[in-house]
Structure formats: C-alpha cells, structure tokens
Structure 1
Amino acid sequence: MISLYPPDFANPDPLSEEWETTPREAKDALTAQSLVACILFAVAQPRDCFIKAFHFEQV
C-alpha cells in the first residue's frame, strides 16, 4: 500500500501538450507528472524493496 500526501501542485491535463511542457525545475511548483513518476518508480521496485514514504517539499 502506498499513500501520497503531496503539497499543492500543478495539475495539467495528461492529454494536452501542457503535460510535457510544464516546468519541472526546483523553483517551480510540484507537478502531477512528478507524482506519477514517483508512483511508477515505487511500483517498479522489487518485492523485497520497502519504501516507507515519499516526502514532497518545495525548495
């Protein structure tokens, strides 16, 4: 089971061009695309890899 509690984030439509062009630099807001990437990363890990938490923070 994975739970995510992200801060406010940009949420462009995944079917729009904006999905690929939304800035993803440290100074920019967290994006839905970044959240999806983290989820896919966690799901792709071997069964013996335990990920207790993801921490999202604005820098």
Structure 2
Amino acid sequence: MKSNVGGIDKILRILVGIALIAWALLGGPVWAWIGILPLATGLMGWCPAYLLIGVNTCPAKRN
C-alpha cells in the first residue's frame, strides 16, 4: 500500500476521527462510530477511496 494521504489531510482525518469517536462514547448517535474510518486512514496514511478515484494528497517524493 503506497501512501496517498499526507499533510493537512492526515491531520484533519485524525482529528475528525477522534472527535466523532469521543462523541459516540459520550452518548452521541450510533453513526458517530464512523469516526473509526477517518482515524484509521489518517493513521495508516492510505485511503482506499482515494485509490479508486485517483486522488493523492502526499507530496511528490524527490530523488
């Protein structure tokens, strides 16, 4: 799996994921558990949806 999530995108995914999971734990709606997905993709640096639509937010690697 080649990284396709980088920089600000990764930080936002992690923050949104944590916020949604915290909301679910504090009595929020069941759908707030969806926060597991952005948290996981942010931590892994790879998003399967980005792969399908051809998006890559990682900076270009220089040799």
TM range, smaller chain:
0.3 to 0.5
> TM-score, length-normalised on structure 2?
0.36
When normalised by structure 1's length, the TM-score is 0.38
Richer in helix (by share): 2
